[in-house]
Every structure is written in structure tokens, then in C-alpha cells.
Structure 1
């Protein structure tokens, strides 16, 4: 019991209160994420659209999402995290209801476009706010906890959506909109603005708006290289949504079998994700990311030899392990490679890579499968995974040097440095100087030998 309590304290203790409000909002929002799960079925069975029309609507959702991540990133830095999140959530809730009541194809198409825009505009703001409020040493477990909440909520939503759809498809849109509004209410009531307010330079030159932001991003080869590797990985990962059900169908397996097999992904993440931070803490991030890419490649590659449900289930479990290793290391590295004044834009560029992959993966997967065959597609995924692994090992040192360069310099011992502009919550949770002896709540971290004790703040 003492060991379990210690693990729970090390996993959840000492994180800022604002993080837990964001975490709660994520869980609530994902519990109600019904529409995306059943949208294709709704469009074809309830609205009577053909497959081409349904595909166009889903494509417009993706286009709106690409625009939303770009716009959301800019607004996050210029307008603020909190107003961007509130606007995005309320806009998404409104568009959710509009889409539920729309009947004509043009109205459904416009609703899907705007819904994608608002829903994805929240991602950069949320990511930037998480980085703002969680100290660097705690981000690995914070992102793991958030990823766990996402998968727990989404897995539960798939079950609840099936029950709601039996009663009424409109109920899917109403409940989804309702949980989005509840999330907005949590942010409005409990989450303060976390963007640091830059102090004007002497002479009246304000620094509140970063200049040359686009030039900074497009010339940041280290960051763009990392985003490119994420794009390649996403092209492989998203084949489980597009090509995997087709492959299983050709082997005579029913759609319900696919649903059961793919559900193992969520089950394994919910059961094991919270143990990942302790497993990878103190290890080279480049090595962890390389291993994750290799494991995912092996999992998808073995799909070429699967012809029964249990074999497909085994492949899903293998690439899920790679996904679990990749997610927290990926998120913490993105956080460290993002300059403080451009966090929203950097998060937007990262989210854009997922939008591009979401639109491209089904097309490229279908093209390879049609022209070269099923086995070539999955073995090609394995080859891409190996390529990504090598690229992480090669580019890792440059990324770590960049991350170190972007960290604020530490004050010399004995020097009292004026605090930099920062959110109130972050200031409240920042460790005090000088270093004090370990106390309750201290969790050793091999990556930070000088880690100071963290006072328990907020919910555990």
C-alpha cells in the first residue's frame, strides 16, 4: 500500500492547480466527443449522403482544422490563451448544434468546415497554457496524465455514443455541444490567463507582440525537422483509422471485430500510460523517441502477415506501446523547443502537421494499397518507422542543444534576480531560492540532479 501511495504521489503530486482544471476540462470534453466517432455513419445513414459527399464533408472538417490551428496559434500569442480557448470552445459548441440541425448538403458542409476551425483552434492555446503553468521538470508526467485523460474520455465516448445514437442522432450533437460548454465554463471560472505580459523596453518600445514570428519559425530548421518527423510518424499511425478496417474487412472480419480490436489501443493506454513517466525518466529523449518509432513501425509492419482477429489484436498492442512511449517525450520536447513569446504559433505548427497527416494518410495509404498491394503498405510503414528512428538518433543532439539554449539562464549563487513576467500560478509554484533540503513531495529526477522540493499545490 505504501508503494502504491508513493507511486501515486510521484505521478500526480505537486502539479499546479491550474493544470488540474485544464485536465478536468480535457476529460469532460473527451467524454462528450461523440460526433467525430459517428459522423461518417450519420451522414450516410441518417442524412442519406453518398460516400463521395460524406468524404467531402469530412475533408472540409480537416480543412477547417488546418486553418484553425494556424489561426489559433497566432491568437494564442497575440490575444491570449484564455480568450482564445473560450472563443474556440463556445464557437465549437455553436457549430456542433448547427451541424446537428443542418439538412442541406451545403449547410452541413459549411457547418463541418467551421466546426473544424473552432475545434482545432483550441489546441495551440491549450498546449501553450500547459507549458506556461507546469514547470519544466514536471512536464513529462503532466503530459502523460493529460494523454491518459484524453484516451479515457475518448474510449468512454465511443461506448456512450453508441447508446446515444440508438436513441437519436441529434442527441450526439446536443451532448457534445453541452460538454464543450461545460469545459468552457471550467476555463472561465477557474483558469486565469497564463500568457506572460512582456515589459515595455525603455524609450516606449513595447515588447508585447513578437516581431518576425513567421520568419523565426520558417528558419528554425531544428524545430521544423522535428515537426517533419512527427508528420511522417502520423502518416503511419493514422493508417489504423483508414486502411486497417479495410484490410480486416478483406480478411472476412466484421466491423464489430475491428471495433473490438482497435478498442485494445485505448484499454492499454488507460491501464499503462501513467507508468510510462517513471519508465522513461532520466533516459535520452532521442533514444526513447527512436525506440517508439521502431516499435510502432514493427507493429504496423506485422499487419502485413495478419489474417485473423487475434493477430490483428497483437499488432495493435505492439504499436500502442510505441504510441505510449512517443506521446510524453514528444510533448515535452515540443514545449522546450518553443520560444516563450511564440508558444502558441509553435504549437499551431505542430498541430498543423497532424491536420496534414489526417488529410494525406487515407489518400497515400489507399494509393499504395491499390497500386502495390496490402503487404507493401504495411511493410512500407515498418520501413518509415525505422527511418524515423535513425533520424531521431541523428538529430537528437541538435535538438537538445536548442532546448538548453532556450532555457532561461539560472542566476549565480547568492544573486537575487528580478522575476521574469510569468503567470500568477506559475509564480506561486516556482521553487524558492536557495536550494533547500528534500521534504515531503520531493521526487528525484535523474534529468535534473539539482531538483528542488516541490510544495504540494492544488489537487493531487
Structure 2
């Protein structure tokens, strides 16, 4: 009954939004193949292709950092629709562009994708009341991972049987479909959320009437929430560590006799475990302290890389991927929901953008930092990842212990409650 009640607490609009996320995720796999596309059919050198991909990564991070700010000003639904339409239109036309225009268009598409990600997260945050956000974010993240798990092999089939160009066209059409789906599924305006967790004190905080600008600077609001600052710093470190399994880890496997097929199977383990456990874990742990769950998850991520100290065989690699995935399940959904719960009502989008941005910081930092260390001291990389992951987890656990010792703030100070779905 508790599990069923947990699902009932997720509004219908979130399920509809998550369905659109799933469909879009099935066709959103071009980033996996973009380097091969640039150096293959496009005939670019590795340096030029790497520069374009790197700028695209910066665009993705920048989009995540700014999407919520736009949403606080103009409405998260409007921003999601605008960015999806822009990104989809760019992707559809991308195969026909010259190399010069491609250099501009690809980062623009990545920037739009980052804005969509932040706006989608903020839209869920303002649609779902505190107490149900972990389940809601788990639903959207699980379906997103499910779509990606299905879409990646389909993308490889399309690229080899037809053309890489069709990957961009398909993702563009899927992104445009997501814009249309969101326009139909998410109402342009919704009644402000007034439901509060049992025992909460004070009146609900109304949505800011000025479109989200509100009073008080972002830095002042963050300083009033030191645990959020500690969490954001830990996530930056953890994401650089986490994304080594997309960058240096496959190189490590190849150098020790495990080919691309083995790496693909390990990535499938990651996706399969997430599909099986993401939602049940969110429901089972929804009453537990969020910072303790996040901290434990980050420690597990570090523990995953510690497994590689046991050797370079398939068994340590599987153990590494299982621990990494379990840590990911614990920290990603819970951290997103915690930041939403701690947001002032007039800064939900900005807080979500901050989290979204730091949670993809490894897209820019992981490859150059990990690659440089692996080139000069390969035996040092995995122990350092283990230490950094454990250290990030410990910092969040300490922050959680401090929060637990402090008296609860009045509800009107937490800002975690209510906001209208601006459209």
C-alpha cells in the first residue's frame, strides 16, 4: 500500500511529461556518435572534431546553468517549449549545413538541450509538492534512462544501415515532438500547489507575482542554506569522478584486453539496474534523510572505482559498474529533489539550474582531467577517483549531520513548498 501511495503522490502531469521524455530519449543519442560522425562522413580531423565536441559540451553546461533562470523570469513551460523547438529545428537541418555553419549549429543545439534539461527539472519541481519530489524525479529519470537504453543500439543500427545524417534528423523530429507533447500535456497554467507535508508550520509560500524575480539575491539565499552549498560542491567533484566511466574507463578496458563489446555490456548493466531499481529505491527511501542518502550514494561511486584496484578483469569491472550504478541511483534523484525542496519559491528555477549545471560539469572537466592523469600515472587514477568520491560523500554526510542537529526552520523560510506552473 505504501508503494502504491507513493505512486499516487506523483501528479498525472508528471507522468505525461515523463512519457514525452521517454520518447525523446529514444532518439536522443547523437552525442554518442557525434565524434565518429565528424571524423567520418564529415571528414574532419580529430583536433577539429574534438574542438567542436568540446564547445558543444560547454554549450550543454551553459544551457543547464541558464535554463532555470529563464524559467523563473518567463515561465518554465514556455522556456521548455521554446528551447525544444529551437533545438529540434537546428538538429533537423544540421546534416545539410556546411562545416562552418555546423561548428556554430552543434553547440547551439547542445545549449538548447541544456536549457530543456534545466527547464524540465524546474517544471517538475514547481508541479510537485515537497514530500513527493523524489518519486517524481525518479519517474522522469527512469523513463529517460529507459529511452536512452533502447535508443543507443537503435541509433547504431540506423547509422550503419542508413546514414549518420538520419540520427540528427530523428533526434530533431523527436525534440520537436517533445515540444508539441509538452504543449498538450502540461497546462499553460495550473493552480498553485498548497498541499504541505504533515506537520509543516506556517502558511504556504505563494509564487512570486513578478514572474519569479522575487526579492533577495541568489548568493544570499545560498548562504542561508550551507547544506545546499556543500551539496553543490560535492556534486562537482563527484561528476568528474562519475564520468570517468565514459572517458578513461573504456580506454583502460581496451588496454587490458576487454574490447568495445565488453564495454557496451557494462553500460547495459548500468541501464538495466537503473530501470529495475530507480523507482523502487525512491519509494522505499522517501522518508529517509536526503543528505544521508546522497552522501552514501557518492561513497558508493567512489567504492566502484576502488574495485578496479583489484585488477583489470571482467569481474572487477562488473563490480565497479554495479557499485557506480547503485550510487548513481541513490544520489542523483535525491539530490535533485533536495535542491528543489530547499529552493525559495521565487528561485526554484535558479536553484534547479545550479544543480543541473554542476551535475553535468564532468562533461567538460572529466575527459581532460582524467585523460591527463591517465597519460602520466594510469595506476593513480582509480585510487584517486575512489578517494574523491568518498570525500565528496563524507562532506555531504557531515552537512546532513549538521542539518539534523539544527531546529527546523519555519515553513515560510524554507521556500520548499509552493509555486504555480508558469506558462
Same fold (TM over 0.5): yes
User: Is 1:265 aligned to 2:270, yes or no?
Assistant: yes
Equivalent-residue separation in structure 2 for 1:276 and 1:260 (angstroms): 23
Distance in 2 of aligned mates of 1:351 and 1:171: 29
Partner of 2:121: 127
Matching residue of 1:28: 23
Say which one has the larger Rg.
Answer: 1
1:422 maps to 420
Cα distance in 1 for residues equivalent to 2:391 and 2:16? 39
Kindly state the Cα deviation for residue 402 of structure 1 after the two structures are TM-superposed.
9.0
The answer to whether the Cα contact below 8 Å between 1:133 and 1:194 also exists between their aligned partners in 2 is: no
Give the Cα separation in 2 of the matches to 1:199 and 1:223. Answer: 22
Mark the runs of 5 or more structure 2 residues left unpaired by the alignment: 193-205
CA contact (8 A) 1:132 1:194 kept: no
Tell me the residue number matched to 1:413.
none
Written as runs of structure 1 = structure 2, the 5 A alignment for 1:94-173 is 94-104=89-99, 106-166=100-160, 167-173=162-168
Aligned to 2:203: none
Match of 2:173 in 1: 178
Whether the 8 Å CA contact 1:62–1:358 is kept in 2: the answer is yes
Displacement of 1:361 = 0.8
Aligned to 2:243: 238
Which whole-Å CA distance do the structure 2 matches of 1:355 and 1:337 have between them?
A: 20
In structure 2, do the counterparts of structure 1 residues 233 and 393 end up closer, same or farther at CA, with 3 Å as the change threshold?
A: same
Greater shift, 287-296 or 212-221, is seen at: 212-221
1:54-453 alignment, distance < 5 Å: 54-104=49-99, 106-166=100-160, 167-193=162-188, 198=207, 209-216=213-220, 219=223, 221-373=226-378, 375-399=379-403, 404-405=408-409, 407-408=411-412, 422-423=420-421
Give distance in 1, aligned partners of 2:393 and 2:418: 38
RMSD (Å) for aligned C-alpha atoms: 2.6
Q: Pick closer, same or farther for the CA change 1:101–1:344 going to 2, 3 Å.
A: same
2:8 pairs with one of 7, 13, 19:
13
Q: Is the 8 A contact 2:75 2:422 kept in 1?
A: no
**Partners in 2 of 1:402 and 1:180 — Cα distance?**
45
- State the partner residue of 2:195: none
Q: 1:287 to 1:218 in 2, by over 3 A?
A: closer
Contact residue 222 and residue 228 of structure 2 kept, 8 A: no
Equivalents in 2 of 1:189, 1:247: separation in Å? Answer: 46
In 2: Cα distance, 1:420 partner to 1:301 partner: 42
| 1:20 match: secondary structure | helix
Corresponding residue for residue 199 of structure 2: none
For residue 12 of structure 1, report the CA deviation from its aligned partner.
2.5
1:153 positional shift = 0.7
Q: Tell me: CA distance 1:296–1:66, structure 2 relative to 1, closer, same or farther (3 Å).
A: closer
Tell me the TM-score normalized by structure 1.
0.81
1:173 is displaced (CA, Å) by 0.9
TM-score, normalised via structure 2 length? 0.88
Q: Distance in 2 between matches of 1:271 and 1:207?
A: 39
CA drift of 1:270 comes to 0.8
CA 1:138–1:288 in structure 2 vs 1: closer, same or farther (change >3 Å)? Answer: same
Structure 1 unmatched runs, 5+? 1-5, 201-205, 411-418, 426-460
Q: Displacement, 1:249?
A: 1.0
Aligned equivalents of 1:265 and 1:406: distance in 2? 40
Q: Would you say the 8 A contact 1:289–1:329 is kept in 2?
A: yes
Could you say if the C-alpha distance between residues 321 and 420 of structure 1 is closer, same or farther in structure 2, counting changes exceeding 3 Å?
closer
Distance 2:359 2:418 in 1: 33
8 A Cα contact 2:230 2:395, kept in partner: no
Give, in angstroms, the shift of residue 423 of structure 1.
4.5
| CA distance in 1 between partners of 2:187 and 2:320 (Å) | 43
Structure 1 residues 329 and 401: alpha-carbon distance in aligned structure 2, compared to 1, 3 A threshold:
farther
Against the structure 1 CA distance between its residues 55 and 18, is the aligned structure 2 distance closer, same or farther, given a 3 Å change threshold? same
Kindly indicate whether the alpha-carbon contact (under 8 Å) linking 1:368 and 1:377 is maintained by their aligned counterparts in 2.
yes
- Larger mean CA deviation between 257-266 and 298-307 belongs to 298-307
For the residue of structure 2 that corresponds to 1:46, the secondary structure is: coil
Partner of 1:452: none
SS of alignment partner, residue 131 of structure 2: helix
Aligned-partner SS, 1:49: coil
